[in-house]
Structure 1
Amino acid sequence: MLVDNIPDIFIPEIENSPEILVHDFRMTTDNVKSKVNLRMHMFSFLQIGKKEVHFAETSVRVDKNQSILTTKGNCLWTELLDTENSYYCKLFFFSEKVLKDFLKKHPISSKERAQENPFFIIENDNFISAFIDSLSAIGNNQLHQNESLIKVKFEEILLYLSGKYGNQFSSFLQSLIQEKNSTFRDVVERHVYSNLKVEEIAFLCNMSLSTFKRHFKEEFQASPGKWLLDQRLEKAKILMEQRDVKASEVYLEIGYNNLSNFSTAFKNKFGISPKELSCN
């Protein structure tokens, strides 16, 4: 899976990327999954479909009744179709410089500690819908050609969300201009029971696969494939014994997409099938 550098792929004709821009993203192919290097912070205003995003620290899914503000950095980005058989969202990118200019012009204070989440979920309302419509009415071309206008729209949405969510949103904005450091072990352990592949976890650690494997062996004294397999199967065994549940009720929870594959791996490790364990 190649890495998409965003927003670069949306503006290939521009040599110097702008500090702020709007892009309409549409698709009709189901379940498009991408490795994304998000170079700018980004609003994703969903209108049709669903979005699922995996970050180093966590993951989140949003639908067309929500929008999401995500921080720059590596993530795994999946667009999902809904009943309309299409996907559409309006993306609004901005740099740290633009955000700092806003905070200088509109100082905000927060009594809450700056959030560490790489995203902020926004519940769409009448104002958000009207804001999205206003961007569409202006048109992307006019917005790109008039930086002052797009900055006014940027200030408008930030001021509204600051009023709507108060300290919660203010602290998140402040976190966008602060360095975040997740340790290698933290990132790995947060994704032990996800359905991510080893190379995808490596990507979230900002490492090549070979570098990731080397660091992993130094940290955990085992190969990532074997360690993740052992962790997931050990948890499955504990869940089945403690909850008295079937394999079909736990395999998704511990990161498997296929029940048959889970049952085979379980028997190879413990010498008995999940069904036999349930009968004991």
Structure 2
Amino acid sequence: MLIENIPELFIDDPRKDYDIFVHDFKMTTDVVKSKVNLRMNMFSFLQVGKKQVHFGGTSVAVNKEQSLLIKKGNCLWTELLDTENIYYCKLLFFSEKILKEFLKKHITKPAVHKKEAPFFIIENDHYITSYLNSLSTMDDNPSLFSDNFLSVKFEEIALYLISKYGNSFKSYLQSLVVEETSPFREIVERNIYSNLRLEEIAFLCNMSLSTFKRHFINEYKSSPGKWLQEKRLQKAKTLLEQGNLKASDIYWEMGYNNLSNFSTAFKNRFGFSPKDIS
């Protein structure tokens, strides 16, 4: 699967450097776990459809009632159509330069360097709808609006969200300028019971698959495929023994694409099939 560099993918002139950039994103087919190298922090104002984003240690899912502010870095996007058979969101990208200028102007209190999630969920409301309409007007007349004007629009939405969410949004904005490294073990162990493939976990660790495998063996003294399978099958056995779930309820979240493959792996490991557990 190719890695999509965003927002470069949406920019007509790759020679131009943007500090702030707006893009209308529409599609008519589902996209599942697309690899994205997000090079700027981004507002994703979802209008129609559903969106799920996997990060190194967590994930988030929203519908058209919500939007996201997403921290730059590697992530996996799943974008699903709604009943209208279309997916549509308005994306607002902004550089660290724009963010620092805003923080210097409006937030004088020093940042408390605490770890924040790589996303902030925004509940859509009438003000945000009006704000997005104003950005759409800019799309209709792009020659009338400069980067300076867009900077004012960034300032507008950031100030509004501070008034709406208070210190939690202030702290989140401040966290975007704090460089963090993603601890390898934390990412791996947060995704033990996810349905992500090794290749996708490696991507979230900012590693190639071969580098990830070498690093994993150094850390865990086992191959990642064998280690993850053991953990997931043991978890599956525990869940089935509790009597509330069937194999058909859990095979997907245990990392298997179909029930048959899960049942075969389970029987090879324990000597009996999942349906034999009563």
Per the alignment, in what secondary structure is the counterpart of residue 34 of structure 1? strand
Scaled by the length of structure 1, what TM-score is found? 0.94
Matches within 5 A, 1:213-252: 213-243=213-243, 245-252=245-252
Scaled by the length of structure 2, what TM-score is found? 0.94
What is the aligned partner in structure 2 of residue 5 from structure 1?
5
* C-alpha contact (below 8 Å) 2:22/2:92 kept by paired residues: yes
* C-alpha contact (below 8 Å) 2:23/2:90 kept by paired residues: yes
Shift of 1:256: 3.0
Looking at structure 2, the residues matched to 127 and 200 of structure 1 have their Cα atoms a distance apart, in angstroms, of 37
Cα 1:140/1:51, change in 2 over 3 Å: farther
Cα 1:245/1:64, change in 2 over 3 Å: closer
* C-alpha contact (below 8 Å) 2:111/2:174 kept by paired residues: no
Looking at structure 2, the residues matched to 113 and 15 of structure 1 have their Cα atoms a distance apart, in angstroms, of 35
Looking at structure 2, the residues matched to 239 and 32 of structure 1 have their Cα atoms a distance apart, in angstroms, of 27
Cα 1:143/1:18, change in 2 over 3 Å: farther
2:142 counterpart letter in structure 1: Q
* C-alpha contact (below 8 Å) 1:46/1:66 kept by paired residues: yes
Per the alignment, in what secondary structure is the counterpart of residue 21 of structure 2? strand
Cα 1:45/1:220, change in 2 over 3 Å: same
Looking at structure 1, the residues matched to 101 and 31 of structure 2 have their Cα atoms a distance apart, in angstroms, of 37
Per the alignment, in what secondary structure is the counterpart of residue 133 of structure 1? helix
1:58 counterpart letter in structure 2: T
What is the aligned partner in structure 1 of residue 205 from structure 2?
205
What is the aligned partner in structure 2 of residue 74 from structure 1?
74
226-235 or 254-263, which moves further after superposition?
Answer: 254-263
Cα 1:229/1:201, change in 2 over 3 Å: same
Identity of aligned residues (%): 64
Matches within 5 A, 1:73-222: 73-109=73-109, 114-139=114-139, 142=142, 146-222=146-222
* C-alpha contact (below 8 Å) 1:23/1:140 kept by paired residues: no
RMSD: 1.8
2:216 counterpart letter in structure 1: F
1:119 counterpart letter in structure 2: F
- In the alignment of these two chains, the number of paired residues is 278
Looking at structure 2, the residues matched to 76 and 141 of structure 1 have their Cα atoms a distance apart, in angstroms, of 33
For structure 2, the 5+ residue unaligned runs are: none
What is the aligned partner in structure 2 of residue 276 from structure 1?
276
101-110 or 135-144, which moves further after superposition?
Answer: 135-144
Residue by residue over 1:60-87, the C-alpha shift from the partner in whole angstroms, topping out at 9 and shown as x without a partner, is 1111110000000000111111110011
260-269 or 105-114, which moves further after superposition?
Answer: 105-114
Residue by residue over 1:129-161, the C-alpha shift from the partner in whole angstroms, topping out at 9 and shown as x without a partner, is 111111001217627950111011000000000
What is the aligned partner in structure 1 of residue 59 from structure 2?
59
Residue by residue over 1:62-120, the C-alpha shift from the partner in whole angstroms, topping out at 9 and shown as x without a partner, is 11110000000000111111110011100000011110000111125489764420000
What is the aligned partner in structure 1 of residue 25 from structure 2?
25
Looking at structure 1, the residues matched to 272 and 70 of structure 2 have their Cα atoms a distance apart, in angstroms, of 44
Per the alignment, in what secondary structure is the counterpart of residue 268 of structure 1? helix
Residue by residue over 1:25-46, the C-alpha shift from the partner in whole angstroms, topping out at 9 and shown as x without a partner, is 0101123441110000000000
